[in-house]
Amino acid sequence: MYLETFGTTSDRTSKVFGMGKDELARKSVNTLFKNQGVYNGLLAVMILLAVFVFASKPAVMVLMGYIVLVALYGGMTSNPKIIFMQGGLAILTLLSALF
């Protein structure tokens, strides 16, 4: 979330996403990155709520399934490594909850 929302034009963001700082500074790209960062931050809040407030295994499973689906979509439409970058921990969480 930090890289996308607050560090959008940083050297680290440029390296992680393989984009030049000039491209990251473009208003349209910057806006898209910030939106993605807010989405990721809200997912983190939802996960914390599911685990600590509701203490609900089904709620965590649904959230992890959603994250995996979004990662699969990103992998198919953008870059296959997104599946593991975005969905890796969710996949591991689902697997650990099943066994």
Per residue in 21-60, pLDDT (tens digit) is: 999 999 999 998 998 898 889 988 988 888 898 888 898 8
The phi, psi pair for 10, rounded to 5°, reads -75, 165
The Cα–Cα gap between 23 and 55 comes to 42
pLDDT bracket for residue 9 (50, 70, 90): very high
- CA-nearest of 12, 41, 38, 40 to 24 is 12
The amino acid sitting at 81 is: K
Per the CB < 8 A criterion, the answer to whether 52 and 29 are in contact is: no
